[in-house]
Chains A and B, each alone.
Chain A
Amino acid sequence: MRRAIAFGLVLLMTLLLTSGCWDYRETDQLAIVYALGLDRIPGSDPILLTVQVVTPAAGTSMGASAGAGAESKAFTTISGTGKSVFDAISRLGRKLPRRLYFAHTKIIIFGRTLAEAGLGDVMDALNRNPEIRRTTLMFATDGSANQILAKSTPLERLPAKGLEMIAEKAKRNAFVPEVNLNALNCRFDGVPGVAFLPLVQLVKDPGSPSGSGAGENLTISRTAIFAKQHLVGILTRDESKGLMWLINRPQGQNVTLDGAGGAGVSALRILAGQTNIVPQVSENGISMEITCSARANVRETETVGLDLNDPASLKKLEHEAEQVITKQVETTITDAETGLDADFVGFGRQLRAEYPAEWKQVETSWKDIFPSVRFEVVCHIEIVNTGVMNNPSRPGAGKE
């Protein structure tokens, strides 16, 4: 009996010690990659991998050493090249004392060169890696990802975190969509294989002196369009806003009215909105009926003499907003049909959902049919709130 217990204990210890500990790693053995950038460069090693690694010791103020002297950077940007993404990671790893750890990567940026050459190769590497999360935010840039990741942001110690927050704000104010790895996969694999990514740009502040670097900030206001995993074009700001309507995410969008009907500028904010795309198939071909409806409130108005107590003047504002939004959406669709020749507006998807049989017929030639699809945009805006006051705060305005 005693021997049996001793034997069991030995077995248990062996089990614990031989099967355990193989993936043991301390946190100080890891280089936590917060953001990852991919570019394509000419030469035999075409992939340029840039990682923004958190420097943990600088993240906290340890004693007196951190406060004094030059402020240590909270991040390090390192790049390396390789024949493929994995090759670049392993080669970069040789330069670093710590293991590159991708489980906390929040941001992946594709440089313009890579985007134009096609994302196919790198998407496989990103999707196959178990450490990279499906919720990682994806971005494109019109320059190089390398440059973007080397740039620090105001207010945030980690630039990639700043970028993450800018993207979050862009989504909340509905001017650029937010796309994560999973959504990108779905767009690429789905019908009709067209995707869009928010575009990160380095822009110069108006007041800053010219010269490289200084006064440049990261911004997100436009959208990059991918067809068959290649970059085909970049939407303007207005087109991006139109896209937000077409993908049914207009909540939070600001609609600026230039006062064409009245005498001043007004702004509305969309509180809740919905877009319905209804395809119609007839002998004349395929047409789409797009209905945007939303409730909004007034954020700003400088219109002299406009009485917001009067439903008629609200109607006037509503009407003006409807025109602006309709125009935005129409421009976006026109650009998709004629300019970029890519169905990122979701017509194909909608057609497949509503008319599966007809879709089967046009599926192969959709690229040719799409530009000729007719469409009509109808917009309904209802102003439900004018803020905490009724009339413009302007001497004389709205009196009597």
Chain B
Amino acid sequence: MWPFRTRRVSSPKSRSGSGQAPGPPQPPARAEVPEQPLGASLAQNLTALQKIFALCSDFTNRELSIGRSAIPAQLLFVNGLTDESIVGDSILRSLEDMTYFQVGVEGAGSMTQLKKRFLAVANVVEIGSLGEVSEAVLTGSAVLLLEGSAQALKIGAKGSEARNVEEPVTEGVVRGPREGFTETLRLNTALLRRKIKTPDLKLEKCVLGSVTKTEVNIAYLEKIVNPKLVVEVRERLARIKVDAILESAYIEELIEDTPWTFLPLIEHSERPDKVAAEILSGRVAIFTDGTPFVLLVPTMMFQFMQSSEDYYDRYPYAIMIRLVRFLFLNFALLLPAVYIAVTTYHQEMIPTPLLISITAAHEGVPFPTVVEVFAMEITFEALREAGVRLPKPVGQAVSIVGALVIGQAAVEANIVSPATVIVVALTGISSFAIPSYNFASAIRLLRFIMMILASVLGMFGILLGMLVFQAHLVSLRSFGVPYFAPFAPFNRQDAKDLLIRVPWWAMGERPRLLGAQNRKRQKFFLRPGPPDESKP
């Protein structure tokens, strides 16, 4: 097994030790469509399929007659899922052309002949049951039924409207590739394949969701990834028995190690370069059709503090910005709590001039500091939420009103003290300095817990809270890998890309916990310098 202790809730079935064989999970059977083989009669087959697709207005059947002997045939597809040009130019044109050939297609093996000789389409498969036909039609293929044949041809004609490759919204960079994943799985995997041009890059397919039949791909580099990790990923995906997978978040919550933690245990990204980099360091990516967000497992906490741009900036600046980020992580988590603790319990900790100005600012404010900070923090959360949800032009209005009303009017009316506004604003900015949005959300939640502890027990409460939080952090695992690695357990090699980012010529090895199979990333001693003239 995967060498690390895995803590996952297994289904009762697998707990009883039935021993699922590793391998790509098979799609669960659909109960409503009978696994009934096709008959030889075209009319019967068509009636059966029309019964299945009753009241489906997008289901289309095109009547044809093929060959010299004009054998009746039906071409079935779902309008909108297929590419009009493939159906028209490739399928219909080639079937029409057959009329002029002196070749019959009657009888057994006619399907094979059609496939081999006539259809000018790349992806053609023979299928033999009603269930397969309906599934093929629903996934965007065209299906050709022929009189007298118990086989059907599934012709790949997938091509629905897709969003263009655009700049990722959630992970912007100043320098770096500007392409982002889209909602189309094949396009996404192509974007990845374009970056990693090796057959080692495997894209295992599986289908999840009994109703949605969402295609999911497990991507990894065979020579780098720990094979046990792939097995673990397959098994966890095979466990999923839900009706629908509409976003990768569904999968994320179904395969986590610890379902009840605040912290995200699986990272996601919509940047092909980031996914490629993680795959290259031995991680497994889970692509889900219908969403640009790709899951990356296993995840360590420090990944959430790293941006892909850290690797594109010059490394001294990248180091500085990473350290600043960690400073602001602490601000985002603790600043309001420390402010509450210090101004209501430990006034001796504030420098005297600052205490005098804080006291002066709080003079005449009707609420206790705790109430003030909580009210402002919650208002800030509302403003942030409003800014995210509303249409862009309105969102700006919200932020202006928020800044004016909350920031200035409340202070001038002496409802909140200016010091509190500064603290809340700084905290807000700090939480935006965390590159990962979902990690920042977790920190925001924890901030409120810290604030409650600080308002009741002061610094002592913050200390207790941090102790519990730290203990929780080191107890978490993501796909069996310690969440707080490479800090705990510490690894010197991995620490090169942790709080700091060493230049590329110094990053000789892959992360210890991931690339166990093939640790050497590149040639050592790559540091550029003047040529050694002493050697010829």
Contacts and interface: CB of A to CB of B under 8 A. Distances in A.
Given A26-B369, A103-B347, A54 B456 contact: no
A30 interface: yes
A356 interface: no
A104 B351 CA distance: 8
Contacts of A101: 347
A135 to B, nearest CB: 12
A23 B344 CA distance: 8
A59 B357 contact: yes
Interface in A56-77: 56-60, 62-63
A17 interface: yes
Interface string A5-37: 000000000001101110111111010101000
Given A19-B457, A54-B356, A104-B355, A26 B348 contact: no
Contact of B362 (A21, A28, A103, A104): A28
A4 to B, nearest CB: 15
Given A60-B360, A104-B355, A131-B348, A26 B457 contact: no
8 contacts: A21-B456, A23-B458, A25-B344, A54-B359, A58-B360, A63-B412, A104-B352, A106-B352
Contact of B359 (A27, A34, A63, A103): A27
A211 to B, nearest CB: 33
Given A26-B368, A28-B363, A16 B352 contact: no
A30 B359 contact: yes
Q: What are the 8 A-B residue pairs with the smallest beta carbon separation, nearest first?
A: A20-B456, A103-B348, A56-B360, A56-B359, A27-B359, A60-B360, A20-B457, A104-B352
Contacts of B453: 16
B356 A26 contact: no
A20 B465 CA distance: 14
A212 to B, nearest CB: 30
Interface residues of A, number: 27
Residue of A23, A25, A27, A101 ringed by the most chain B CB atoms within 10 A: A27
B461 A24 contact: no
Contacts of B360: 56-60, 62
B361 interface: yes
Interface in B327-358: 343-345, 347-348, 352, 355-358
Given A19-B457, A20-B457, A34-B352, A27 B345 contact: no
Contacts of B361: 60
Nearest to A58: B360
A30 B347 contact: yes
A27 B357 contact: no
Contacts of A30: 347, 359
B451 to A, nearest CB: 13
B396 to A, nearest CB: 30
Contacts of B368: 26
B344 A20 contact: no
A28 B359 contact: yes
B356 A56 contact: yes
A256 B9 CA distance: 86
A8 to B, nearest CB: 14
A32 B357 CA distance: 12
Nearest to A30: B347
A131 B453 CA distance: 24
Interface string B379-423: 000000000000000000000000000000000100000000000
Interface string B228-265: 00000000000000000000000000000000000000
Contacts of B347: 25, 27, 30, 101, 103-104
A16 B454 CA distance: 10
Given A19-B457, A56-B363, A25 B357 contact: no
A160 B362 CA distance: 23
A104 B360 CA distance: 15
Given A26-B362, A26-B368, A104-B348, 6 more contacts: A16-B452, A25-B347, A27-B344, A34-B352, A54-B356, A59-B360
Contact of A16 (B344, B355, B362, B457): B457
A22 to B, nearest CB: 10
